[in-house]
Amino acid sequence: MAEAEEAKVEGANEEERAAAAEEEEVEVKFRLFDGSDIGPIRCNAANTTVAALKDRVVADWPKDKSIIPKTANDVKLISGGKILENDKNIAQCRAPFGDLPSTVITMHVVVQPSSTKSKPDKKANKLPKTTRCSCTIL
């Protein structure tokens, strides 16, 4: 009997935690390559995707920086030592041991501009191959 009641209580606690995670508002700030920050911004942990955060970073990017991302695809977000995937939400990306509910989540921003310039054709730069063989007998 006691075990059944205990299982009901545990199930209710898990449902309460899931409901709290859906409603959880978090503050996120973005650390740029030079040590400056964007934010913090408040967002819903369950409903805000990494792609939406990248769009926000590009929109709020300081104009005085030497490196400026053109699109959200030029931006990589890192949290807890992991590169975040676009289709995940913040609640799925949070490190379970490092983030307390009242603290600001810091995500590091890396800008990798997409190479739109055409790369020189490797075949045009190659010299004709010459076959060489050498043997050494000791």
Across residues 117-138, what is the average pLDDT? Answer: 62
Confidence band of 15 (pLDDT split at 50, 70, 90): low
Residue 15 corresponds to which amino acid? E
Instruction: Please name the residue that has the structure tokens 């369950």.
Output: 46
Q: Are 83 and 50 in contact (CB under 8 A)?
A: no
Rounded alpha-carbon distances, angstroms, from residue 74 to 11, 69, 127, 135 = 43, 6, 35, 50
Alpha-carbon gap, residue 22 to 137, rounded angstroms = 73
Which stretch of DSSP H or E encloses residue 53?
helix 50-60
Residue-wise pLDDT tens digits, 61-105:
998 888 888 888 999 999 888 899 988 888 887 765 554 556 788
